Amino acid sequence: MDKMRRSERVLLLTQRLLARPGELFSLGDFAGSLGAAKSSLSEDLALVSEAVARLGVGRIETLTGAAGGVRYLPVMTGAAIADLAEDLCRRLAEPERVLPGGFLYLTDLVFHPALAAAVGTAFATRFTPVQPQCVLTVETKGIPLALMTARSLGVPLAVARHGSRPSEGPAVSINYVSGSSGRVQSMALPRRAIPAGSRVLIVDDFMKAGGTSLGMVDLVREVGGEVAGVAVLVATAEPEKKLVDTYDTLVVLEAGPPYRAEPGPWVKEIRRF
Amino acid sequence: MDKMRRSERVLLLTQRLLARPGELFSLGDFAGSLGAAKSSLSEDLALVSEAVARLGVGRIETLTGAAGGVRYLPVMTGAAIADLAEDLCRRLAEPERVLPGGFLYLTDLVFHPALAAAVGTAFATRFTPVQPQCVLTVETKGIPLALMTARSLGVPLAVARHGSRPSEGPAVSINYVSGSSGRVQSMALPRRAIPAGSRVLIVDDFMKAGGTSLGMVDLVREVGGEVAGVAVLVATAEPEKKLVDTYDTLVVLEAGPPYRAEPGPWVKEIRRF
């Protein structure tokens, strides 16, 4: 009977935690709603945590102190990240993606909810060791990936926009040269979006010369933050030298059409483990 | 021993399904990786499904046929939706949200990953009965909510943009009058983003006069789709008559400052059950 109750509790805990990734649940609330002592609950959580880790779908994090609690953060295995990158390469090579003028249609991919979630989890897995405190992107197509990365890391999202708005309050604005168009553009971020001293992970959908990413790096420094990394979904093979020193891309795209892509260097590296 | 294995299988199934909401898993894959007969698997899934429904965190959907499988779709209870709306009302009333010029700062809320996820689940719960096949929003601040709504419904997201781009291919473009600025603006949607005949749920963060929502309604009709509903996070109390006939808002905002908000009519209705 006792065994039975434990397995039920474990199932309920798993469902609560996995249904709302990144959200902090108080141990007291759990103990109350499950009718269990806190000591039993700790043992239950250890079981859930072990099973989650064994399956390779994430980790259970327990934060101590007054604002403490427990939460589920999604994580992917190296093999799953490699599969995701290879699947994306196959999709980028689909001939029906080539648009009039030879452009490559990516819009359905960057706005695909399940794909955005998987990519966000892959980026979070990559950057968890440096503990970003915030994710930054610039409107528009990077938003789904950046949101999902922030969710998997359990941190807030900040979005820079082209021009400041009265409804966003005092803003920090910078000019940057978009590498693809060669034009000077500006982006603005509400002052209160990134607290000074934050470690910020920059996320975007596409990198050609790297001008937009460099703009975001400047913006982070301007608000007194620190860049924890730059993660992009697709980077072009040419130019090989980008305007940012370091970045991680899920896939590298050769010039086309026809378009051919391969997994990024860090993906190739983790696949070896 | 048999009991033990069942409870382990149930835990593994729960983790796989809940870690990736909206994604379709094939029953054959599950049976293979769990080393279980399909008949045992059906019984396991029934247990998971029952527990998920009892907890009020969603539902397990089994699709039959060649493209069939099983997936987890998040759903919220009426009480949880009411709690979410009331929490949002409290946050909107925070005095530090009032910006120079008397504007209300909402940016941190619309870009908050866990809040966007909860609101998306609330909208999906509201509109599941009419089975939307696609979610539509317009850049920028509606994107997180729309993405999370699409994810909870297990359908794609389409995003209209201000102006068409060569990298998005042939587009449908319409003009609309933004109620807040009174100016004529245009929005464009790639032709391939919404298949003709689709039932489309429109999602946005804020509605004042309703001009932007009306623009999206026109866009849906222009691509040969059908409007399944209009869902917004915040609608202003004034003007009471909006440019769209029907819409559902999570909260209604009185003119300010100071700002006061209350749950929307449909939220008040479901709270009674």
pLDDT at position B263 is 98
Reported as a single tens digit per residue, the pLDDT across A223-237 is 999 999 999 999 999
Q: Which of B7, B57, B159 sits opposite A15 (nearest CB)?
A: B57
Who contacts B46 (Cβ-Cβ below 8 Å, separation ≥6)? none
Residues of B in contact with A103 (CB under 8 A): 166-167, 169
Q: Which of B51, B150, B170 sits opposite A11 (nearest CB)?
A: B51
| Contact check, Cβ <8 Å, A58/B19 | yes
B105 touches chain A (CB under 8 A): yes
The last residue of one of the domains, among B57, B74, B91, is: B74
pLDDT at position A20 is 87
Could you tell me what percent of chain A has a pLDDT over 90?
71
| Contact check, Cβ <8 Å, A107/B18 | no
Residues of A in contact with B168 (CB under 8 A): 99, 105, 107
Reported as a single tens digit per residue, the pLDDT across A189-201 is 999 999 999 999 9
**A162 and A44 share one domain:** no
Residues of A in contact with B51 (CB under 8 A): 11-12, 15
**B124 and B25 share one domain:** no
Chain A interface test: which of B111, B151, B192, B206 (most A C-beta within 10 Å): B111
Chain A: closest CA distance from residue B146 (Å): 10
pLDDT at position A1 is 36
A143 touches chain B (CB under 8 A): yes
Q: Does the structure's ipTM exceed the value 0.90?
A: yes
Who contacts A34 (Cβ-Cβ below 8 Å, separation ≥6)? A9, A12, A13, A41, A44
Chain A: closest CA distance from residue B11 (Å): 6
pLDDT of A4 higher than 70 = no
pLDDT at position B243 is 95
Written in H, E and C, the secondary structure of chain A is: CHHHHHHHHHHHHHHHHHHCCCCCECHHHHHHHHCCCHHHHHHHHHHHHHHHHHHCCEEEEEECCCCCEEEEEECCCHHHHHHHHHHHHHHHCCHHHECCCCCECCHHHHCCHHHHHHHHHHHHHHHHHHCCCEEEEECCCCHHHHHHHHHHHCCCEEEEECCCCHHHCCEEEEEEECCCCCCEEEEEEEHHHCCCCCEEEEEEEEECCCHHHHHHHHHHHHCCCEEEEEEEEEEECCCCCCCCCCCEEEEEECCCCCCCEEECHHHHHHHCC
**B248 and B178 share one domain:** yes
Chain A: closest CA distance from residue B205 (Å): 13
Count contacts between A and B (CB, < 8 Å): 164
Chain B interface test: which of A9, A11, A84 (most B C-beta within 10 Å): A11
**A29 and A161 share one domain:** no
pLDDT at position B273 is 55
Domain count, chain A: 2
The last residue of one of the domains, among A55, A74, A93, is: A74
| Contact check, Cβ <8 Å, B166/A51 | no
Chain A: closest CA distance from residue B272 (Å): 23
**B257 and B128 share one domain:** yes
> Considering only alpha carbons, which residue of chain B is nearest residue A153?
B113
Helix extents (H) in chain B:
2-19, 27-34, 38-55, 78-92, 107-110, 113-127, 143-153, 211-222, 265-271
Residues 166-195 of A with CB under 8 A from B: 166-170, 190, 192-193
Reported as a single tens digit per residue, the pLDDT across A148-183 is 999 999 999 999 999 888 888 899 999 998 876 778
pLDDT at position B2 is 46
Reported as a single tens digit per residue, the pLDDT across A106-127 is 999 999 999 999 999 999 999 9
| Contact check, Cβ <8 Å, B190/A107 | yes
Chain B: closest CA distance from residue A16 (Å): 7
Cβ burial of A255 (10 Å; 0-12, 13-18, 19+) is exposed
Residues 3-62 of A with CB under 8 A from B: 7, 10-12, 14-16, 18-23, 51-52, 55, 57-58
pLDDT at position B73 is 93
pLDDT of A219 higher than 60 = yes
For position B24, which CATH number holds?
Answer: 1.10.10.10
Q: Which of A51, A55, A139 sits opposite B139 (nearest CB)?
A: A139
User: Which residues of chain B, if any, have pLDDT below 70?
Assistant: 1-4, 180, 272-273
Reported as a single tens digit per residue, the pLDDT across A8-26 is 788 888 988 998 888 889 8
pLDDT bucket at A273, cuts 50 / 70 / 90: low
| Contact check, Cβ <8 Å, B18/A22 | no
**A164 and A257 share one domain:** yes
Residues of B in contact with A20 (CB under 8 A): 57, 114, 117-118
**A67 and A129 share one domain:** no
Residues 207-246 of B with CB under 8 A from A: none
**B240 and B225 share one domain:** yes
Assess contact for A232 and A204: CB atoms under 8 A: yes
Reported as a single tens digit per residue, the pLDDT across A26-75 is 888 888 888 888 888 889 999 999 988 888 889 999 888 877 899 999 99
**B66 and B161 share one domain:** no
pLDDT bucket at A2, cuts 50 / 70 / 90: very low
pLDDT at position A222 is 95
Distance CA B235, CA B78 (A): 20
Chain A interface test: which of B76, B147, B148, B165 (most A C-beta within 10 Å): B147
Residues of B in contact with A9 (CB under 8 A): none
CB-side neighbour CA atoms (13 Å) of B32: 5
Chain A: closest CA distance from residue B24 (Å): 10
A256 touches chain B (CB under 8 A): no
pLDDT at position A40 is 86
Domain that holds residue B69: 2-74
**A42 and A85 share one domain:** no
The last residue of one of the domains, among B28, B43, B74, is: B74
For position B172, which CATH number holds?
Answer: 3.40.50.2020
**B161 and B38 share one domain:** no
**A139 and A229 share one domain:** yes
